[in-house]
Structure 1
């Protein structure tokens, strides 16, 4: 495991804070705001990994999770003023970039060096560093890059050759090669002790709940999914290390449910089998769930996963129309979708299905087909989102080709131009997604099924909150 030597790191007077800010300015959300409010908040694994690596290398680091702590902008500004950090690194995604800039401005006002990271910076590094209150950007995975940058700033040494760094020089933005951690077993466990673990919750999960990853990257190329450089390289952790982390979450933080945030946990069969067998070997009692693919499970694997404590699998179905599935490059069939959901239920696992409404070239017929398929396979939970053409995705290219969006929308959005909300790709998208949610969740048969499974007052309250979100249904925050 690489650890920067103490002779290099020296004494560490610099104070570093890592930040996940709130979604302020997220005008392009495609998940209904009334449901987003009740779905819960989960730990920010990305900055927790970076914090752990910094700690391992002797850096004085802390985390402010604005979402987890439910802080206002004013409360965050005061926290930064009180803590007086030397360096603040803020994570952001494309839709939440404006919120990250608000946080960056506050941090610069407090005298900090400001670093932006996250997937958006890998797409628009030059544009992201245009504001004078942003000093650096991180392209790719941030653990080693930020540690080396802190070291360089501490020792007032050259940072121009740091891999994964974007910086300013003579009025220009210089972008170094993106950073990818090839061996993710070299990384320490995320710094959960720096997070408000008791604050995290999920509308469908037990409490306390945590997230985890057992792999990074994804070998698949779905048309709607943005892939930064590191996402294109699939890497797995040692199953023993994965279960060590699960055990630590249970014993140190009292976690009752773990939500794996791998893109697809069953890509490498020996990997997931190794995790399950190690859980069984240790007799570790914890419930867990994970995303996977329709074409990467069978009865034998599902049975082993359930035996090892898996309670729920999340499948990306996305559409109920064969033409749209092909356009999305999903490489699955409707028949296989139905088979796998029936098999998942037969094995005794809960299922969660993801669907996209309003993909480019969709028609009322194809969208109705998606709603009909959702009800036919009848998962325990479902999420519908309106298609969003993120930059550098095939969906973005398709949307531009069909004249549905401005090809430079996201660049202008990043630069702060008043471009408004990105238009939907089909008419009446909000009405369609409202119809999808209500026609699935408000069915008497679904309500009766959930009522039969109620075992606690807290679960009842969560379900009531979700139902109220469906009744009040709105896509954007109310003024």
Structure 2
């Protein structure tokens, strides 16, 4: 069977696969990792695949439909997100209607965090959508392709939500894959279908390739969407050899790639395994820069090994400068750990991208200032600071909804007209306008400090490889930092 895996047309550079989908102020654009993984797994099951990333390639709706027509797809897997869900369903209707008129029938399946959290509601949006594949969908899609090719009922495949007349039926929950080594290298799918220069993350040298070495996250931060809607909290690791083999594949097949981004929720979640991967990289004499997500409980000993193996930068959620707020979001860290972590990072020479948020349960003007004070005192290489974004399926969404603090039931309002993040929550004491204004001013206070500007200038002089990344980030970000943005200043 011919299967198309589609990141559908929407706003150009809309980063649908990231944890908080939007057109980002930094120019960040994620690879369609989960689509590509499922595509590779489906192809390994004997099916022909195509992968289309329309926002990255700036494909029009008509161009995408033409490509699906020419490929002769019978099954189309459409990635969705909360802010784009209405667009994604509307395009699915256009795709099915257009191809049906020409005699080509396609079975359309929606996947992703939003439809996993709200499968029945999503399926009822439009009869052109045939099914929802809930949660981690690699095996579900492959088995569905098998069933359709053999003219079996889709209802025999677990992990689906299907329409049965006026009723919606669930075929049962599917357990996540336990052996993730059986998924082909996601980079091998990228190589065939994607252009690496389309993708950017300011925390990695450009151009870069994004992969994951595990699935699932053992931590329970109340806002984090992937563990709560798709991948679960059970950590499933690829073997050390499998991970490092993929690094060798990338170096051999992507001639101008400068870096790897390990997009695991927490790359060093298992210290022993993290060190083993690093030691294998060193043993094989692999020389490439890499970035990963980490937590502030990472110790200096492990950081030293990571640095020796090529780790250049870590993305870390400090989140708040108030301990009570950290505890309420179930972050599981302390402010003292944040300080110790940054001291260790400086000693090992690893750059830190710090993530901060405001509007948390119990937030006040005083706690927001504590968060800014923490960001400045830690002195990371870069920061992001936004009002908390809440998505269906997370504890955060349930809490804000129960408290009446979500300002719209229209998911398209999760974005501004140009596709930036929109603030759809307000605090118990703070308006959406105050949250946005604070974040805008906080970023200016952090980035426009003379000490910081001097630091970046010296960094580029000492490390010319940083120039391209820094300038690419500055070009995109400056217009928001210096001239404001179109983020909504009022609750909707």
Tell me whether the two structures share a fold, i.e. TM-score over 0.5.
Answer: yes
1:127 aligns with 2:121: yes
| Structure 2 Cα separation of the partners of residues 339 and 219 of structure 1 | 22
Q: Deviations for 1:33-60, whole angstroms, at most 9, x for unmatched residues?
A: 7x81542323111011111112112211
Match of 1:176 among 171, 175, 188: 171
- Look up the match of 2:358: 357
Q: CA deviation at 1:92?
A: 1.6
Q: CA deviation at 1:78?
A: 4.4
Change (3 A) 1:275 1:359: same
| Structure 2 Cα separation of the partners of residues 312 and 405 of structure 1 | 34
Secondary structure of the 1:36 match is: coil
- Look up the match of 2:388: 387
- Look up the match of 2:482: 471
| Structure 2 Cα separation of the partners of residues 158 and 306 of structure 1 | 52
- Look up the match of 2:220: 221
8 Å contact kept, 2:265–2:294: yes
Q: Which has the larger displacement, 37-46 or 378-387? A: 37-46
User: Which sections of structure 1, spanning at least 5 residues, go unmatched?
Assistant: 1-13, 415-419
- Look up the match of 1:8: none
Matches within 5 A, 1:163-312: 163-179=158-174, 180-190=176-186, 191-192=189-190, 193-226=192-225, 227-228=228-229, 230-254=231-255, 255-295=257-297, 297-312=298-313
| Structure 2 Cα separation of the partners of residues 269 and 30 of structure 1 | 24
User: Which sections of structure 2, spanning at least 5 residues, go unmatched?
Assistant: 101-105, 415-421
1:105 aligns with 2:101: no
Match of 1:145 among 134, 140, 164: 140
- Look up the match of 2:418: none
Matches within 5 A, 1:363-374: 363-374=364-375
| Structure 2 Cα separation of the partners of residues 153 and 102 of structure 1 | 24
Q: Deviations for 1:419-445, whole angstroms, at most 9, x for unmatched residues?
A: x98343331121011112111112121
1:92 aligns with 2:80: yes
| Structure 2 Cα separation of the partners of residues 371 and 59 of structure 1 | 51
Q: Deviations for 1:217-243, whole angstroms, at most 9, x for unmatched residues?
A: 011111222312532221111011000
8 Å contact kept, 1:338–1:377: yes
Q: Deviations for 1:73-131, whole angstroms, at most 9, x for unmatched residues?
A: 45434444554532211112223322322331232122322110111122111111111
Q: Which has the larger displacement, 40-49 or 240-249? A: 40-49
Q: Deviations for 1:253-309, whole angstroms, at most 9, x for unmatched residues?
A: 1322011110111111121111101101100011111111112x1111000000011
Secondary structure of the 1:405 match is: coil
TM-score under structure 1 length normalisation: 0.88
Q: For this pair of structures, how many residues does the alignment match? A: 456
| Structure 1 Cα separation of the partners of residues 457 and 9 of structure 2 | 33
TM-score under structure 2 length normalisation: 0.86
How much is the aligned-residue C-alpha RMSD, in angstroms?
2.8
